[in-house]
Amino acid sequence: MKILNIVGARPNFMKVAPLHRAFQKKSEIESKIVHTGQHYDAKMSDVFFNQLELPKPDYFLGIGGGSHTQQTAKIMLEFEKVVEAEQPDLVLVVGDVTSTIACALVATKMHIPIAHVEAGLRSGDRRMPEEINRILTDSISDYLFVTEQAGIDNLKHEGVPDEKVFMVGNCMIDSLVYYRQKAGLLDIMPSLGVAKDDFVLMTMHRPANVDTAEGLTSILQIIENTTPYKKVLFPIHPRTKNNIERFGLTAKLDAIQGLILTEPQGYLEFLHLMENSALVITDSGGIQEETTYLQVPCLTFRDSTERPVTVDLGTNQLLADLNPVTVHEKVIETLEGRAKKGVIPPLWDGHAAERIAEVLVQKFNQ
């Protein structure tokens, strides 16, 4: 059974790493990795090759930037050549990035079965390109591997036959469990000027939050309101940094006492910082899941989440807008120990990839 595993953006690496390991343990599976190059720079390369112990990709498509339409078209054209050359038995896609839907479209047009890992997630917000990617990919996939009950419910509501859907757990958590000890051995906090529980970790990158002067001004005010209580460690995304410069807010950013700005961190470094922080403030999707597993309080700046289990069972709280007053209240509540307590969702145990491998071998042998 030849499987082409698709990666294109940073979160994909953490999901494909445990899958590739699980597939390699199965004599029935030949596992190959296709990197579209949707996101590619030295930091991504480091994460991919070194930290996650993945081999060099069998194919690197070198797509690079561009609009969603341009990226989708370029990926489809290049991936079609790979499918023609390899004649795989299955194309496996993860998550909801442009590479996911682009490669799934090629596979279905060439009559290759598709497995979608992290299927069924819905935010209800079709303005997000990721939401469209999720819906379309699920509609053409043959095997839908689900991380939480909401995924089962969403797919059932959309009329997906039960026999296509498998609750397996969360591959992102597989990577966290696998690398947690290695991340714990890092000694990076002294060089950053922080210690366990004495800092708030922040990430912000979504266009809705960082593409306007108003949004960025609110983010800076939130940081300024937080630093009297805890240092704020902010690995700043290139998009966010560029927009701060574009709107003339660099001086205001630099003037905040107690703010520690860093470059984007590697996977292990960020995992280490998450586990040792007092609170995480973010607009990321995957971080909601990781903080829930680590039992670290998380405030997420989005008006909806495709991962409701992180709110229903986990440590995550959604904040619909960047209101510094509301955020200040939540930060104080958390730092005083009054944050919501969470539990780890079912099957988030580090073995999701193994379950996926078992299902695929079983189905292929039928």
Structure tokens of 59?
């194919």
Place of tokens 């597939």: 23
Angle formed by the axes of helices 10-24 and 352-365, nearest 10°:
60
Q: Is 20 left (phi over 0), alpha (psi -120 to 50) or beta?
A: alpha
Residue 320, Cβ density class (10 Å: 0-12 exposed, 13-18 middle, ≥19 buried): exposed
Asked about 328 being catalytic, the answer comes back as no
Of 39, 205, 237, 272, which residue is the catalytic one?
205
Report the catalytic residues.
205
